[in-house]
Structure 1
Amino acid sequence: MAGISAGNQENTQVRLGSTMTSKRAVVAGASSGIGRATAMQLASAGWKVVALARREDRLEELADQLGDSCEYVVCDVTDEDSTQSAVDEVLAGGPVKALVNCAGGAIGQDRIEDCDLEDWRRMYDVNVLGTLRITQKLLPALKCAPGGGTVVVVSSTAGIESYEGGAGYCGVKAAERALAQTLRFEEVGQPLRVIDVAPGMVETKEFSLNRFHGDQAKADAVYAGVPSPLTGDDIAECIEWALDLPDSVDIDSLVVRPRAQASAQRVYRER
C-alpha cells in the first residue's frame, strides 16, 4: 500500500499499541479540514485509518503524526483509474468497516446570471461523482465487514436550504444528500448503515479560501463577527460518535450548526 505506515495485515485484526481492533475506516479527503480532523479523531478512538487524498505530502505528514494507526493512499476521487487503484490497495490491506466521504468543496459564490459553468462542473465532479465513485467501489467490502459496514456522507446544510450566490454548491450538496438517502433505501435489509452528516458554518483554513479563488479578505469575511463557528474537530467528533454506536443504530441524518447560526439566512455576528 502506498505510503503505508504499518505493514499489510493478513487477518481482520490490526495491532494498535497494546490493543487489538477490527475497525478499519477509509477517510476520503483526509489531507485537510474535516477529513483530516476525522482521520485524527478516529485514530484516537481506536480505529485503523486509511487516509485518501490527492496531496501526498499532506498524507505523509498525517501518517507520521498518527503512526501505526494510519495508512495512506494517494487518490483523486474525480479520476476513475486513480480511485480504482486506491480501492485495490485498500482492500489488499484488509477488511473495511467504514467509509467517510469528506472529499469536496465549494467554488465561487456568484449569482446565477453571472456564475461560471466550469465552477459548477468541478463541484459536481468532486462532491457528487467523487462520492459516488469511491462509495460504489467499496460497497461490496463494506457489506462484508464483521457486524456490517457504514457509509458516511459529509454533505452540508447548503443541501437543505439555499442562499444567494450558493446555487451551485447548494445543488451539489442536495445531490449528495439524495445519494445518501437513496442508498439507504436501496440497501435496507443489508448489513450497511448510511449516515448523512450536514455541517453548517465550519471554519477551516482552506474551504472559504478555495471558494473565493485565494482571496483571503473574502474568505475572512464569511466568519467575521461570528462567535465560535464550528471547527473540523467538532464535525469529526460527531462522525466518530455515529460510527461507534452499535451497528444496528443508524443516524440517518445529523444536522450540525454553531449556536450562532439559526439558518443560512440568519447568523448572529458580534459588532
Structure 2
Amino acid sequence: MITDRTKIAVITGASSDIGEATARLFAKEGYLVILGARCYGKVRAIAESIGGVAIPLDVSRTESVEKFSKAIHGPLDLLVNNGGGALGLGTIAEMDEDKWITMYQTNVVGLGGMTRALLPQLKSSEYGADVVNIGSITGLETYVGRAGYTDCKHAVQAITQTMRLEWLGERIRVTGIDPGLVETESSLVRFAGNAGRAQSVYQGMRPLLAEDVAESIRWAVSRPWHVNIDQIVIKPTDQARMDKIFRRSK
C-alpha cells in the first residue's frame, strides 16, 4: 500500500562535488537524505545544513559498508552510488599496481558491496526504488594516460547493465549517469594536490558543474514508474570526447 511517508535517499561520496550537490537537491525535493563519506566532518556539516543524516563510510572497506547499512532501518527509495575517484596518470607500461587496486576497490567493488548491503531496504520500498550509479564517459571510451581509471569505469558500465538484468521484474529501477568533464575536486586528487595542474584540465573551456549532474539524477528518478532511464551521457558543450575538447584562447 502506498503511504505518505517521507522518501529516503542514500548518497555515497557525499562530502563534496556531485555527491554534495545531489544531497542538497534531493533534500529540497523533500527526501530525508542519508549522506556517507570518509570525510565525516565535511559530510556532517552538509547533513546538518539540509536536515539530513551523516554516517561515516568508506566504500572500499567491507566492514564500513556493513556498519553503514545496519544503521539504516526500514525501506530505502533511492541509492546514488557516487563514491569513487581517479588516482594518478600513466600508461599500462607505467602501471602503479597499488593505485589500480585502490581505484578498483573503490569504484567497482565498493559500488557492488554498497548495493548488495542495501538491497533488502531497496526491495522493501512500497514506492519502488531507484539505484543510480555514477560512472563516466571514460567507461564508454579509452584514451592514453588513464588506463587504470578507464578500466574501472568500464566495469561500472557492466555492473549497471547486470543490475538491470538481475532485477528485471522487481520494483527497482537502475540508471547509469556518465558525465564528461565536471569541475570537481577529483582533478586535484588525481594530480596529488597540484592545484595548477588540476585547474589546467578546465583551461579555456566551460566544464559541467556538479549541479548539472545532480539535476540529471533528479530528472531520471522522477519519471513515471513504467519508464526506466537506462543511461544518461552528459558532456559540456565544449567536449565531444574525453580527449576532444574545444579550448578558447585567452
If the TM-score is normalised by the length of the shorter chain, which range does it land in? over 0.9
Structure 1 stretches of at least 4 aligned residues deviating more than 2 Å after TM superposition: none
Structure-2 separation of matches of 1:62 and 1:241: 22
C-alpha displacement at 1:135, in angstroms? 0.3
- 1:189-248 deviations in Å (ceiling 9; x for gaps): 1111010000000001x110001111112111111111x210111000111111122222
Q: Structure 1 CA distance, aligned partners of 2:226 and 2:53?
A: 28
Give deviations 1:11-32, integer Å, cap 9, x for gaps: x97xxxxxx6531100011011
In the alignment, structure 1 residue 263 sits paired with structure 2 residue 241 = yes
Correspondence 1:57 to 2:31: no
Identity %: 40
Of the three residues 46, 60, 63, the one matched with 1:81 is 63
- 1:173 to partner: Cα distance: 0.4
Contact kept in structure 1, 2:75 and 2:123, CA below 8 Å: no
1:198 aligned counterpart, secondary structure: strand
Q: How do 1:182-221 and structure 2 match up within 5 A?
A: 182-204=162-184, 206-221=185-200
> Is 2:6–2:30's contact at 8 Å kept on the other side of the alignment?
no
**2:109 counterpart SS class:** helix
Residue matched to 2:15: 31
How far off its partner does 1:82 sit? 1.1
Kindly state the Cα deviation for residue 57 of structure 1 after the two structures are TM-superposed.
Answer: 0.5
Secondary structure of the structure 1 residue equivalent to 2:71: helix
Stretches of structure 2 that go unaligned for 5 or more consecutive residues are none
Letter in structure 2 aligned against 1:43: A
Number of aligned residues: 248
The superposition leaves residues 96-123 of structure 1 with CA deviations (integer Å, 9 ceiling, x where unpaired) of 1010000001001112211311111110
TM-score, normalised via structure 2 length: 0.96
Could you say which residue in structure 1 is the equivalent of 2:117?
137
TM-score normalized with structure 1 length: 0.88
CA offsets, 1:16-75, max 9 Å, x none? xxxx653110001101111111101111111110001111111121022112xx111111
The gaps in structure 1 that reach 5 residues or longer are 1-11, 14-19
Secondary structure (helix, strand or coil) at the match of 2:111 reads helix
2:125 partner SS: coil
* Pair 1:97-2:77 in alignment: yes
SS of residue matched to 2:94: coil
Answer whether contact 1:21 1:47 (CA < 8 A) is retained. Answer: no
Report the equivalent of 1:8: none
Structure 2 CA distance for aligned equivalents of residues 54 and 219 of structure 1: 22
Equivalent pair of 2:9/2:33 in contact (CA under 8 Å) = yes
Aligned to 1:66: 50
**Aligned partner of residue 254 in structure 1, secondary structure:** strand
Question: What's the secondary structure of 2:189's corresponding residue?
Answer: helix
d(CA) in 1 for partners of 2:188, 2:79: 27
Matches within 5 A, 1:115-130: 115-130=95-110
Which shifted more, 239-248 or 164-173? 239-248
For residue 34 of structure 2, give the secondary structure of its aligned residue in structure 1: strand
Asked whether 1:43 is paired with 2:22, we answer: no
Equivalent residue for 1:181? 161
Matched residue type, 1:22: T
Structure 2 contact 83–107 (Cα < 8 Å) conserved:
yes
User: 1:104-151: CA deviations, max 9, x gaps?
Assistant: 010011122113111111100100011001101111221221131111
Q: Distance in 2 between matches of 1:45 and 1:241?
A: 11
Out of 223, 230, 245, the residue aligned to residue 202 of structure 2 is: 223
Aligned pairs for 1:10-21 (under 5 A) are 21=5
CA shift for structure 1 position 164: 1.1
Distance in 1, matches of 2:113 and 2:78, equals 15
